Structure 1
Amino acid sequence: MLEADHLPGRTLLATDGREYLYCSGTSYLGMARNPAFAALLAEGLSRYGSNYGNSRNGPLRLRIYAEAERYLAAYTGAAAALTVSSGYLAGQMAVKALARAGRFEYAPGTHPAAWLTEHAPLPTAPRPFDDWAAHLLRRLQHETPEPVVIVSNSLDPLRAQRYDFAWTQHLPTNRPITLLIDDSHGFGVIGPGGAGIFRELRVPPSVRVVVVSSLGKACGIPGGVVLSEARFIDELRQSAFFGASSPVVPAYLHAFVQAEELYGQARAQLAANVQQFAAATADTELFQGAPGFPVFYTPRNELADFMLQRGVLLSSFAYPTAADPCITRVVLSALHTAEDVARVAELCMEFTAQTHL
């Protein structure tokens, strides 16, 4: 493990003096180290200060919250949006509000932010998402009708797989069903204009859709959002979770709503990087990836040490706990140049050539 005293961008200068090309983390659009975004944030800080230590149910209403939530609703296609101080809080606030909405059904790999209890009853045997979804749909269609809350990630960010939700069109309509999707790794990157999965979901009119997401990954905002129908969002506004929690720092929301052009430029650069790397490494058969997603998973954990010795830091560690298997991935960002991408791809091909000897 390397140590640093600053946040990396496209490169990392470790405290031992060595510089590494940084291919890890979740700052897919690179906003955390984007100078133009930092300038917008500085504008926000000058107007709103460094923090807002208050409940949003207090006597003061800062207009930026309503402005950002209208923007998020229009951007994603949701009827309404609600921002909170983290993606984890967004998930917990939503599932706690749904605690009595029905039996919970969890997809494989569902993030703990969307667990109703500390140890959610996830599928015990490893099962591909499509198999789980087909099995769930068969059960729902043949069991005695009862309310159900279906909980899933929008994609697998560890093994870089997009999930197909076409099956949700066939959910039964003879009971209340809520579909809760955690889109934390997709929001800002996948979907039209990077607006995430909300517009892509097709469900019967009787099925309620709730999408929760961190804004701290692709968007570079320390906060989270819940997207859903207006009635559910109003219910969340009245909850103790919302009233007793600190809101997103308003300076960041100011930067967010002003940064549409910056996000678009970053998405274009990221898309070019992803396409370049996927094409350059296709023959190595090293990686599993999803179209347009900037994460490339490999089961060859030894690739991480090979790259580190050559000045490239990959994402490679046991997740989510030290007792879990190591997950090794190349993570690209919009900060990487075409030369950076070519270098990483060439080293991957060199690794493949050496290990196949």
Structure 2
Amino acid sequence: MIINQLPNRTITYEGRDYLFFSGTAYLGLARRPAMQALLAEGVGQYGLHFGASRNGNLQLAIFEAAETKLAGQVGAPAALTVSSGMLAGQVVADWLAHQVEPNAVGIQAPGTHPALWHPLIKPQTVDLHGHQSLPMNLAPAYILTNSVDAIRSGLYSFDWINQLSDNQMIWLIVDDSHGLGVLNGGRGIWPQLALKLAAKPNVRLLVTGSLAKAMSLPGGVIFGDLDTLVAIRQTAYFGACSPMPPAYAYAYVHADALYAEGYERLMRNVALAEAALLPTGLFSHAPGYPVFYTDHDDLYPFLLENGIFVYSFAYPTPADKANTRIVISAFHEPQDIHNLAVAVRRFAQQHTRYSPAHA
């Protein structure tokens, strides 16, 4: 389906309106007039783009202001922004490749985002979040993982951190693209991991993420300790990159109330969806998370026929299995969720043992 407008709570295709329950704009800010007004102010001050190196001899103060605010939002010591979440992961992965020996042992959880893949590091796959024991005899030097299973809507406990060695430098690199703005009151995964690592000073934490999802900003971010981020900033990989558009950094710095309101609306909508969808037994779902995953891929064409568009395509490559999931956003109205639930229950009655008496 190809359209000519930015999705909101609805999209229009070939003259027909569809309720839109897909995408990753969890806080629903991309179409908020107040957010667009802040962006317009930013464009007026900074123009459309600043295509210069962040290490150049002319600096824009708004980037440092946004990074300070981002670090404060999640509780990290420092933050560094780049032009995309993919680049944030690649900057860190490239830097990491030059910190560890070429044959250093590393661990990568299944499903780790491609942003953290790099040809110079070759970790072994270990199902960390599936309670597979860490190969402690191999003394891992680095660990790569996502913060959350955003495809199948699963939260990770990270209890395996307790198994980590206390006497060897270990880098823990976590992609928080789908957690930032949503997990832990909107702070993302950092506070959860910082608490677990309080007794592991030998484990150095770096969290990367896309700002283009919940935060509605075309950029990426790296969270970590100040010394490490200073070192990453001095790499050629970072120095050769253009930054995110400064107008968006300006909008973010001035949008506290909008982000808070978006989070509150999102949590209310998720609660409504949980009450309406989970009794059907069709979905796997992490409490409080805005994604409802189903193995019933035929739900997608059924809902589409009923005027509802949900996420369903192969990811991360066309060769992978299609993933069908419903995504709730702050821009949805209660009636939208009610209409969705009516259609889902009708599907469930036709395809499962679901009984509306149990709803």
Relative to the length of structure 1, the TM-score reads 0.93
1:43 maps to amino acid:
E
More deviation, 72-81/330-339: 72-81
Q: Which residue of 2 aligns with 1:198?
A: 190
Residue by residue, what CA displacement relative to the aligned partner does 1:145-183 show, whole Å, maximum 9, x if unpaired? 4x5100000011111101111221442112111111000
Q: Which residue of 2 aligns with 1:297?
A: 293
Alignment pair present for 1:280 and 2:280: no
More deviation, 112-121/254-263: 112-121
Query: Residue 50 and residue 292 in structure 1: after superposition, are their counterparts in 2 closer, same or farther (change >3 A)?
Result: same
Deviation of 1:59 after TM superposition, in Å, equals 1.5
1:109 maps to which of 97, 108, 111: 111
Q: Which residue of 1 aligns with 2:312?
A: 316
Residue by residue, what CA displacement relative to the aligned partner does 1:230-250 show, whole Å, maximum 9, x if unpaired? 110000110111110000100
Q: Which residue of 1 aligns with 2:245?
A: 249
Q: Which residue of 2 aligns with 1:75?
A: 73
Find the aligned partners of 1:119 and 1:230 in 2 and give their Cα distance. Answer: 24
Q: Say whether the 8 Å CA contact 1:10–1:335 is kept in structure 2.
A: yes
Gaps (5+ residues) in structure 1?
Answer: none
Find the aligned partners of 1:294 and 1:283 in 2 and give their Cα distance. Answer: 16
Q: Say whether the 8 Å CA contact 1:86–1:222 is kept in structure 2.
A: yes
Q: Say whether the 8 Å CA contact 2:177–2:213 is kept in structure 1.
A: yes
Matches within 5 A, 1:160-179: 160-179=153-172
Find the aligned partners of 2:266 and 2:122 in 1 and give their Cα distance. Answer: 35
2:5 maps to amino acid:
H
Q: Say whether the 8 Å CA contact 2:106–2:122 is kept in structure 1.
A: no
Residue by residue, what CA displacement relative to the aligned partner does 1:216-243 show, whole Å, maximum 9, x if unpaired? 0000000000001111000011011111
Q: Say whether the 8 Å CA contact 1:108–1:122 is kept in structure 2.
A: no
Query: Residue 156 and residue 148 in structure 1: after superposition, are their counterparts in 2 closer, same or farther (change >3 A)?
Result: same
Q: What is the root-mean-square deviation in Å for CA atoms of aligned residues?
A: 1.6
Q: Say whether the 8 Å CA contact 1:130–1:164 is kept in structure 2.
A: no
Find the aligned partners of 2:85 and 2:59 in 1 and give their Cα distance. Answer: 22
Q: Which residue of 2 aligns with 1:130?
A: 130
Q: Say whether the 8 Å CA contact 1:184–1:215 is kept in structure 2.
A: yes
Q: Say whether the 8 Å CA contact 1:95–1:115 is kept in structure 2.
A: yes
Matches within 5 A, 1:1-357: 2-14=1-13, 16-99=14-97, 100-101=99-100, 102-117=104-119, 123=125, 129-132=129-132, 135-136=133-134, 139-140=135-136, 143=137, 145=139, 148-192=141-185, 194-201=186-193, 202-203=196-197, 204-356=200-352
Find the aligned partners of 1:244 and 1:131 in 2 and give their Cα distance. Answer: 40
Gaps (5+ residues) in structure 2?
Answer: 354-359
Residue by residue, what CA displacement relative to the aligned partner does 1:191-229 show, whole Å, maximum 9, x if unpaired? 13x010101111111110000010000000000000011
Provide the aligned length of Structure 1 versus Structure 2.
345
Find the aligned partners of 1:277 and 1:225 in 2 and give their Cα distance. Answer: 30
Find the aligned partners of 1:144 and 1:129 in 2 and give their Cα distance. Answer: 19
Find the aligned partners of 1:13 and 1:337 in 2 and give their Cα distance. Answer: 17
More deviation, 312-321/112-121: 112-121
Deviation of 1:74 after TM superposition, in Å, equals 1.3
Q: Secondary structure at the match of 2:50?
A: coil
Find the aligned partners of 2:143 and 2:338 in 1 and give their Cα distance. Answer: 41
